Amino acid sequence: MKFSERLHKELQPIWRKNHAHPFVKGIGDGTLDKEKFRFFMVQDYLYLMDYAKLFAIGVVKAKDVETMGRFARLLDGTLNEEMALHREYAKKFGVAEEEFESASPSPTTLAYTHYMLHVGQNGTLADLVAAILPCMWSYWEIGKELNEIPGASEHEFYGEWIQMYSSDEFGQLAEWCIELLDELTVGLPEADLKRLEEIFLNTTRFEYMFWDMSYNQAMWPTDE
């Protein structure tokens, strides 16, 4: 069994919780409160600024030109395509994109991005890929699942979001990361695989926390 299949199988219980979260359901049926979505998009913009840096670290850690080029394209796609979606939504909310960029990260956003940056900076290339993969993979699956709901991708507000994450372009990037993780883990001792599994588990858990944080618009509890 490929390592990615093992991870996907073992983490199905959390994966299902992510798909069933009321925030995700609300995008799918179009009933999500727009204020919650706005909170999410601001935090996701900050999240993606750090996420893009992980691809830059991928370039640094890669050992061949092809892999370097792939990470460079992921970096470009994140900054200029995925984050362009957020900038479009900023317009819809009547907010300047600088306001998204200069917002304060929530504790969950900070914890999630800093965990990935720590693993990416201090670990192997396989550690980095294990950390970033649940993000891309789960959004692609959620995008495809929501895209199957009749009319969801044409929804006047949430349709574009669904189109972005169910797109073939986004899927191809996720698939490449899956393949890279499989290549990098061939023949690794079980102790290494266990470490990678734990990293993947942690960022899968953070994905759930990110939906939950957005649904509750949760900033620092000490500010309330």
Ligand X SMILES: Cc1ncc(CO)c(N)n1
- Closer to ligand X by CB, 82 or 127: give it: 82
From 35, 82, 99, 207, the catalytic residue: 207
Among 3, 15, 47, 161, which residue sits at the site for ligand X (rule: CB under 6 A)? 47
Number of residues that bind ligand X (CB under 6 A): 9
At residue 61's C-alpha, the angle toward residues 58 and 67, to 5°, is: 60
By beta-carbon proximity to ligand X, the closer residue of 151 and 161 is: 161
Cα–Cα distance between 183 and 141 in angstroms, integer? 22
Of the candidates 42, 46, 48, 133, which one interacts with ligand X according to CB under 6 A? 48
- Applying CB under 6 A, does 210 fall inside the site for ligand X? yes
* Least distance CB 175 / ligand X (angstroms): 14
Residues 65-84 that bind ligand X (CB under 6 A): 82
The residue from 3, 11, 23, 44 that contacts ligand X (CB under 6 A) is 44
Percentages helix, strand, coil for the chain (3-state, rounded to 5) are 80, 0, 20
Assess contact for 143 and 167: CB atoms under 8 A. yes
Q: Which of residues 180-209 bind ligand X (CB under 6 A)?
A: 207
Other Cβ atoms closer than 10 A to 170 = 20
Q: Which DSSP helix (H) or strand (E) runs through 155?
A: none
130 part of the interface to ligand X, by CB under 6 A: no
Q: Over the range 126-141, which residues count as b (16 or more CB within 10 Å of their CB) and which as e?
A: bbbbbbbbbbbbbbbb
Does 207 qualify as catalytic in the annotation? yes
Measured distance CA(120)–CA(102) in Å, rounded:
24
Site residues for ligand X per CB under 6 A: 44, 47-48, 82, 135-136, 139, 207, 210
Query: Which residues participate in catalysis according to the annotation?
Result: 207
